[in-house]
Amino acid sequence: MINFIKITLALITVLTLSACDKINTANRTLDTMIGGDFEVHILGHEKPYHVNNGKVTSVPEKGYYVFYPVIDGEKRMVQSPIQITTIIKKD
C-alpha cells in the first residue's frame, strides 16, 4: 500500500512539472507582436533598441526574440533571449 502511494505521488509530480513546461511554451508562443513601434530592453545592454513601424517576433522553440532595429543608420537583425528581454509598445 505504501509503495502504491509513493508511485502515485511520483507520477503526479512528474505530470505537474510536465504541464508547467507546456504552459510556459504556450505563453511564449503567444508573445509574437506584429506591427507598431517598440522599445526593446535587453539586460546587460546600455541602451534600448527602437523598432519603428516593424515587429518583434518570438521563436519559443529556441527561446529568443528576433527584431530589426535601425543601428548606425542600417536595419539589422537582433536576437535576444526571452528571459532577459523586455518589450514596450510605443504609441
- CATH code, 60: 2.30.30
DSSP 33: B
**Overall number of domains in the chain:** 1
Rg (CA), the chain: 19
Picking from 83, 82, 89, the residue whose alpha carbon sits closest to that of residue 50 is 89
pLDDT at position 80 is: 93
**Helix (H, G, I), strand (E, B), or coil: what is residue 17?**
helix
For the record, the C-alpha cell of 59 comes out as 521563436
Q: Which structural domain, as residue segments, surrounds residue 51?
A: 2-90
The alpha carbon of 88 is separated from its chain's Cα centroid by a whole number of angstroms, namely 13
| Mean pLDDT to the nearest integer, 16-31 | 56
**Residues 52/3, Cβ–Cβ less than 8 Å:** no
pLDDT digits (tens, 9 = 90+) for 29-87: 555 666 788 899 999 999 999 998 888 888 777 888 999 998 898 999 999 998 899 98
> How much is the pTM?
0.62
